[in-house]
Amino acid sequence: MDLLERITAFQPDTEQESVSKNRLISLIKQYQNQILDRNCPEGHITCSGLILSPDLQKTLMAYHLIYQSIGWTGGHADGDADLLGVAIREAREETSIQEIYPISGKILSIDILPVPAHEKHGRSVPAHLHYNITYGLIAPEHQAIADKPDENRNVQWIPTREISRLCTESHMIPIYEKIITRMKEIAAQKQAVLPEIVNPLSAWYQMHKRDLPWRKDTDPYHVWISEIMLQQTRVEAVKNYYARFLNTLPDVQALAACPEEILLKLWEGLGYYNRVRNMQKAARIIVAEYQGKFPVDYDKIRSLPGIGDYTAGAICSICFRMPTPAVDGNVLRVMARIQENFRNILDLKLKSELTAQLAKIYTPENSNVLTQSLMELGAMICIPNGTPLCESCPLTDLCMAHQNQSTSLLPVRIKKQKRRIEKKTVFILISQHPGQEHPEIAIQKRPDSGLLASLWELPNVENFLTPEEAVSQCSSWDVKPKELLKIIEKKHVFTHITWEMQGIFLFCEPAQQNHLTWADTNELKTKYSLPTAFRIFLEENLFQ
């Protein structure tokens, strides 16, 4: 929205607010964005944030040197049309706190405020008007606070009931009280909206759900397999893996008894191999302790290897109709927008709070559909990394972010630390005995712990080697290269690490006995499971 749209969207509740809003609209039409600058001749826009504690019982205020009274944080827009951003920035500068977020993206008050003549930085500032835009802000109390010496002192938390006693600007007290009341109304609305989503969301899901193979029944084994596979993998890619996996391992007993090489081959390409290893550990526990049947108990399911809160919640709600929400990134995004929640969705405390809120609207009758419909809405409508499809959403009339036009700002996700970059030289060592149908490739086992533990890999070393250094490295492995075929570069991204890889293709003398395992190219397709990070080199034509 542009500046005029933001101000027009404000809905005044009092005659005074209507006067302030209409006057500001008139000035914006006359001066356009000049109203954001201090040199506007008839006053200019400032942005304030009234900061409350999460329980809305305390406010963070400071004694302002200009006004000779305690008051809220705020400052000049100085040309910036992101009014909410200005309010947050000023709150941080004036209090030194960093963890702060808006209770809503909507403007809570527009007021014309007189500013007395004063001196600032040794310069006289004549009396003028502030057209002040106010937002409600939330900040946890545990943070360190500090004064901004040129503007305020005594930054402190005070009970909201003390404002009228401590504030000496009598005209400000009704404004503060009005904003606090509106912040409490918004907080109540956030709680009240959740029960309202159940019926429209369930009806939408029944009509628009995708036809997916793991939705054919509510067998906990099937739901479990699909949920583990779907973690960080596209639905379309999972379909074939899911069908092949169940065709080979149709039940928990088969999974428990499966040889590791077959299991890893079934999982090849999905990555995160510890997931399938943990699935087998869990399957063996189910067979040994629960007679091959999933326990109908959240805590027992949650205690199984590789099953976290989300997967346990999905199994229990979908299969056993328990009030156990399955809260993943999709559901967090939906919740953040429905409730217009500006907190960091990567905060585990927030995830726990939202899970508890959702559990209150679960019943034995709706648990199955509610879990799946929230997942589906996040995947298909309230999408990540793009504009949500609000025109197709069954919750448009309830969504607080949609009402306040803040969907593009949500969810808030604090950026993760940058991935560590590791450079590797990967050896594609090729040999072929006379008369042998398929060439052989050298592979080896990775260590039993750490990244890609115990999986097969192509031989590799840290850093990029020159061809001469690569030949020397081969000699240390008792491998004798005959011809350098090519050198190519690849990249593979893990959760916390990026491998930048240089692949050196060397045709070698027929394989000797050494620590390497030589597997022919047919065996690499059928017997040995290589992670994608190495398999991408074998997708190249080996001899070109």
Beta-bridged to residue 158, according to DSSP, are 59
Band of pLDDT at residue 233, cut at 50, 70 and 90 = confident
Q: Could you tell me if 290 and 432 lie in one domain?
A: no
Domain membership of residue 165 (yes or no) is: yes
Number of domains in the chain: 3
Domain membership of residue 82 (yes or no) is: yes
Choose one of 409, 439, 465: the last residue of a domain. 409
> What is the residue range of 92's domain?
3-171
pLDDT at 114 over 70: yes
Choose one of 171, 195, 229: the last residue of a domain. 171
Query: Percent of the chain beyond pLDDT 70?
Result: 99
Domain membership of residue 195 (yes or no) is: no
Q: Could you tell me if 430 and 367 lie in one domain?
A: no
Q: Could you tell me if 122 and 236 lie in one domain?
A: no
Q: What is the rounded average pLDDT of the residues 298-312?
A: 97
pLDDT at 273 over 80: yes
Looking at residue 292, which CATH number applies to its domain?
1.10.340.30
pLDDT at 248 over 70: yes
Q: Could you tell me if 372 and 448 lie in one domain?
A: no
Choose one of 152, 171, 190: the last residue of a domain. 171
Domain membership of residue 415 (yes or no) is: no
Q: Could you tell me if 261 and 383 lie in one domain?
A: yes
- pLDDT, residue 544, reads 63
Strand, helix or coil for residue 122: coil
Q: Could you tell me if 387 and 434 lie in one domain?
A: no
pLDDT (tens digit per residue) in 34-43: 999 988 988 8
pLDDT at 417 over 80: no
pLDDT (tens digit per residue) in 83-99: 999 999 999 999 999 99
Q: Could you tell me if 379 and 427 lie in one domain?
A: no
Q: Could you tell me if 167 and 258 lie in one domain?
A: no
Q: How many CB atoms lie within 10 A of CB 211?
A: 6
What is the residue type of 456? Answer: W
Band of pLDDT at residue 500, cut at 50, 70 and 90 = very high
pLDDT at 53 over 70: yes
Contact criterion met (CB below 8 Å) for 105 and 154: no
d(Cα 76, Cα 20) in Å, to the nearest integer? 17
If one compares 181 and 41, the residue with the highest pLDDT of the two is 181
Query: Percent of the chain beyond pLDDT 90?
Result: 81
Domain membership of residue 348 (yes or no) is: yes
Q: How many CB atoms lie within 10 A of CB 159?
A: 12
| Mean pLDDT value across the chain | 93
Q: Could you tell me if 39 and 108 lie in one domain?
A: yes
Band of pLDDT at residue 495, cut at 50, 70 and 90 = confident
Band of pLDDT at residue 115, cut at 50, 70 and 90 = confident
d(Cα 275, Cα 311) in Å, to the nearest integer? 12
Band of pLDDT at residue 313, cut at 50, 70 and 90 = very high
Q: Check residue 344 and report its DSSP letter.
A: B
Q: Which residues of 385-405 are buried (b: 16+ CB within 10 A; e: fewer)?
A: eeebeeeebbbeebbbbbbbe
Q: Which residues of 523-535 are buried (b: 16+ CB within 10 A; e: fewer)?
A: ebeeebbbbebbb
Domain membership of residue 189 (yes or no) is: no
Domain membership of residue 105 (yes or no) is: yes
- pLDDT, residue 305, reads 97
Q: Could you tell me if 140 and 39 lie in one domain?
A: yes
Q: What is the rounded average pLDDT of the residues 527-534?
A: 90
Looking at residue 452, which CATH number applies to its domain?
3.90.79.10
pLDDT at 101 over 80: yes
Question: What are the tokens at 38?
Answer: 């201090």
Indicate whether this model's pTM tops 0.75: yes
Q: Which residues are catalytic?
A: 227
d(Cα 226, Cα 215) in Å, to the nearest integer? 10
Region for residue 326 given its phi and psi (left: phi exceeds 0; alpha: psi -120 to 50; beta: otherwise): beta
Q: Could you tell me if 440 and 346 lie in one domain?
A: no
pLDDT at 416 over 70: no
- pLDDT, residue 117, reads 84
- pLDDT, residue 116, reads 82
pLDDT at 511 over 80: no
pLDDT at 140 over 90: yes
Domain membership of residue 524 (yes or no) is: yes
Q: Could you tell me if 151 and 219 lie in one domain?
A: no
